[in-house]
Structure 1
Amino acid sequence: VEALTGFNGPWVYALFYLTFVGIHLAGVGEALKVMMVISGLAVLAIIATAVALIANFDAANLFDVAVTNAAGANEFLPLGWYGVWAALPFAMWLFLAVEGVPLAAEEAKNPAKDVPKGIIGAMLFLLFTALLVVVLVPAAGGANAMGASAVPLVDALNATGNTNLATVVNILGLAGLVASFFSIIYGYSRLVFALSRAGYLPRSLSITTERKVPARALIVPAIFGFIASLSGEGDLMLAMAVVGATVSYALMALSHIMLRIKQPNLARPYKTPGGVVTSGIALVLSLIALTGVYAFDPRAFLYTVVLFVIGAAYYFGYSAKHLVAKSADEEFAMLADAEADLAASN
């Protein structure tokens, strides 16, 4: 918004929160339709930028960053292996929140088929668009210049003489940021709703409106998000989000391995290709990416650990005694007892 209009500050953040939380409060159907439109505009911006920059592709621009004295540094890796390590949080951000797709399971017609198709399709498309941005933008505008840019797509177009398209892409690129913001609002609301309904968070957060929208699960986290935005620490919050994401990825991978071992006969409408080998690789990569946050900004790592400690204290001090849903182990134990009783009666 600042690059486009010159305006920035708390009132811009407040306007965005009010607008898009308001759309989500209107209903999930309305919200997802809007999400599709703004996501389409964001994709259009990336494709238009890629088409315009192909003619200005210069491989030499990819290597115009001065080589440092870091370990492993060379023309290809000017900041050495440390640079790769510290860049991992930003690489993660290209795909962050795609794990929000399964949160729509309760609102999908056929979750067993629709959710895997959705998340696999999303990952493949994100990989394609990520390559376009990471390769074409610095190859046209210069890696060193783009590394210092707050709006790299726009600056790359301006640097190559595509000023009119740069203005259009700036507007469409804003839609891309909105698409990310919009989808994260959807994801956190469903996550808070599920945790509240199960008793892990205060039960009042799972109250829904007549339109079946978890209003408090939308509004309360938005208030926290707005307050955090007032700090102006965008990079810090990005890195903290990556810490949370990588921890969750690691735990999901570990849970998948444990379920395959402990519950080999569990009904599985969708099976992960490669099984525990795939999730084992994911577990290792998640932990490596987690350490990359520390390399980039130790504050992000430490602040997120503090939040985890607060959450753990709340869980063990209060919510563990007020759970509505049983834990997975308790559910499996009940199932095993029921099966044993059935076998004994026969």
Structure 2
Amino acid sequence: MSQSSGDSAKVAGATYTRAGQDYFQKRTLKRSAGVWGLWGLAVAAVISGDFSGWNFGIDFAGFGGMLIAFAILVIMYYGMIFSIGEMAAAMPHTGGAYSFARSAMGPWGGLITGAAETIEYVATTAVIVFFSAQYANFITTELLDFSLPFWVWWIILYLVFIALNAAGAAISFKFAIVVSIISIGIILVFSAMAIFSGAFSWGALWDIPADEGQSAFLPHGVFPILFALPFAMWFFLGIEELPLAAEESHDPVRDIPRAGLWARGTLIVTGLLVLVLNTGVIGAAATGVSLEPLLDGFRAIVGDGAAAVLALFALVGLLASLQGIMFAYGRNMYSLSRAGYYPKFLSLTGKRQTPWVALIVGAVIGFAALVLIDVVTALNEGAGAVAGAVVLNIAVWGAVLAYLLQMISFIILRRKFPDAARPYLSPWGVPGAIAAAVIAALIFVGFLLNPTFLPAIIAIGIVYVVILVGFALFFRHRLVLSPEEEYALSGGTHRDPQAEGYDVMETELFGEEKKP
């Protein structure tokens, strides 16, 4: 039921205001991506996880435990990406996770899920900028004999990739394809070198001393596998951003599920190569504590003399993910802003038809987080590593929450909108979504049980309080009938905004607009 009074209407516990065609003309996106562009975007967003981050799970659970965690996450990501592919094909607009949850669980569910993705992508971008600056400064110091303060590198990296993402979606997708191919090539070169140089050793996979009563395969037992799962997520985290490109895809109904399938297969292969060969070259004990495991693997094979050149290779992988994840937070913030959940100016697109305002604001937030890390480091020696881990864990925690809520949304929507058009159906159906949800919930519980993750949980809790209070007091009363909202309120009948128009339901809800 709705209550309409001129240019506002109360529906589903929120108040919608008339926006008009002019509002959406200032917030348009351009279709620029085919299936390969989407594949490149998905792979680019994830590939830096093969270069660093994943390896800390070995320190918790050993190589055997990490291998089991990897297998568990393959199941989770298959179930999840199949489910997301079905929902994205049914809802070919930019909202992604927010849109799925909005249709299933109302405005509050949409906000909670969308905010989880915002936190995930902004925090992940900050982490990648942090590590990219470390690599870039090492390269310039060794090869060009100059260095810069890290905060200067952060600004440079943010500015360059804001410019790249704001220059146009076509440029972003082409860049993603190129850097994805280069990054995969680096991993394949490392794999060949590891196999044919003789540096790889099966015994090195099991060199973590086993606790009393445990085995070399699981040196610390079964339970620590739970703590390894968040780190194993770095082999795949970010692939779920594909639905955010729906309004920039030539054929989202066909290409998003297909690109997700191919990207998932690519990442399983590269992840297994790195997990097995990188660990077998430098040993499980060294891998579990390395800040740059792939680079350490190259060093073990060819020595330290070529370290700066090898660091340049590793930097390519980091920059690939920097571009992909920045694309994701820009579109996520754009869609929530266009609907009125965030300040509406964040969704302005300009002449290039890219959400340049959201890109800048997300970068400012990420830069502020990095400055905080720097300050903590200066005040307490060694705390920088702890602060960096907090930001990394915030990203994973946000991802896990978004995964869980999206799978719940999938199950609800199968029942809530049984007759809605579903051009693509998940081959795993509801059982696949349930499996993915159970694993996501398991990782969520692992966060709660591991005291090292507590600072991340506290930080994300504070962010949520601010977002939810702002929505309850202000934004909830100023929502707009964006495509995501139209789909939810129409029961799935208004699917494609670029085909049907962006203000179709405004006339239905508010009546004819009064002309002056």
Query: Normalising to structure 1: TM-score of the pair?
Result: 0.90
**Structure 1 pair 147/180, CA: closer, same or farther in 2 (3 Å)?**
same
Structure 1 equivalent of residue 139 of structure 2: 4
Q: Specify the code of the residue in structure 2 equivalent to 1:188.
A: Y
CA distance in 1, matches of 2:492, 2:159: 45
Structure 1 equivalent of residue 422 of structure 2: 268
CA distance in 2, matches of 1:46, 1:224: 32
Give the counterpart of 1:283 among 434, 437, 440.
437
Deviation at 1:299, TM superposition (A): 1.3
Deviation at 1:101, TM superposition (A): 1.2
Please tell me whether residue 331 in structure 1 is matched to residue 466 in structure 2: no
SS in 2 for 1:221: helix
CA distance in 2, matches of 1:96, 1:103: 15
Structure 2 equivalent of residue 60 of structure 1: 203
Give the counterpart of 2:360 among 219, 227, 243.
219
**Structure 2: runs of 5+ lacking an equivalent:** 1-134, 142-146, 374-383, 495-504, 506-516
Give the counterpart of 1:100 among 231, 241, 251.
241
Q: Deviations over 1:312-338 (max 9, x none)?
A: 222222211111024765332998xx9
Q: How does 1:38-187 map to 2 (within 5 A)?
A: 38-55=179-196, 56-68=199-211, 73-161=214-302, 167-187=308-328
Which of structure 1's runs of 4+ aligned residues deviate more than 6 A? none
Structure 2 equivalent of residue 301 of structure 1: 457
Give the counterpart of 1:36 among 158, 163, 177.
177
Give the counterpart of 1:310 among 466, 487, 510.
466
CA distance in 2, matches of 1:289, 1:236: 16
Q: Specify the code of the residue in structure 1 equivalent to 2:417.
A: Q
Conserved in 1, the CA contact under 8 Å of 2:420 and 2:491? no
SS in 2 for 1:136: helix
Q: Specify the code of the residue in structure 2 equivalent to 1:151.
A: E
Deviation at 1:74, TM superposition (A): 2.4
Please tell me whether residue 237 in structure 1 is matched to residue 391 in structure 2: yes
Structure 1 equivalent of residue 477 of structure 2: 321
SS in 2 for 1:150: coil
Conserved in 2, the CA contact under 8 Å of 1:154 and 1:167? no
Q: Deviations over 1:228-253 (max 9, x none)?
A: 12214322111111111111111110
Q: Specify the code of the residue in structure 1 equivalent to 2:202.
A: A
CA distance in 2, matches of 1:162, 1:180: 27
Q: Specify the code of the residue in structure 2 equivalent to 1:219.
A: I
Higher RCO (CA < 8 A, seq sep 6+): 2
**What is the aligned residue count?**
334
Q: Deviations over 1:8-29 (max 9, x none)?
A: 6211111111111111121111
Structure 2 equivalent of residue 248 of structure 1: 402
- Range with bigger deviation, 303-312 or 314-323: 303-312
Q: Deviations over 1:51-90 (max 9, x none)?
A: 1111332111001012235xx8421112223431212111
**Structure 1 pair 260/89, CA: closer, same or farther in 2 (3 Å)?**
same
Deviation at 1:162, TM superposition (A): 5.3
- Range with bigger deviation, 75-84 or 44-53: 75-84
CA distance in 1, matches of 2:411, 2:160: 41
CA distance in 2, matches of 1:161, 1:135: 19
SS in 2 for 1:80: coil
Deviation at 1:37, TM superposition (A): 1.8
Conserved in 1, the CA contact under 8 Å of 2:238 and 2:325? yes
Conserved in 1, the CA contact under 8 Å of 2:139 and 2:309? no
CA distance in 2, matches of 1:34, 1:23: 9
Conserved in 2, the CA contact under 8 Å of 1:49 and 1:169? no
Q: Percent identity?
A: 34
Q: Specify the code of the residue in structure 2 equivalent to 1:249.
A: Y
Conserved in 2, the CA contact under 8 Å of 1:206 and 1:216? yes
Q: Specify the code of the residue in structure 1 equivalent to 2:270.
A: T
Conserved in 2, the CA contact under 8 Å of 1:242 and 1:293? no
Conserved in 1, the CA contact under 8 Å of 2:417 and 2:492? no
Conserved in 2, the CA contact under 8 Å of 1:52 and 1:162? no
**Structure 1 pair 73/310, CA: closer, same or farther in 2 (3 Å)?**
farther
Conserved in 1, the CA contact under 8 Å of 2:337 and 2:345? yes
Deviation at 1:166, TM superposition (A): 5.2
SS in 2 for 1:172: helix
CA distance in 2, matches of 1:234, 1:128: 28
Deviation at 1:178, TM superposition (A): 0.8
Q: Deviations over 1:152-200 (max 9, x none)?
A: 1121122233556654442121111111111110000011111111111
Conserved in 1, the CA contact under 8 Å of 2:447 and 2:453? yes
CA distance in 2, matches of 1:170, 1:209: 37
CA distance in 1, matches of 2:392, 2:360: 21
Q: Deviations over 1:261-315 (max 9, x none)?
A: 1222211011111211000011111111122334242211222122222222222
Give the counterpart of 1:18 among 153, 159, 180.
159
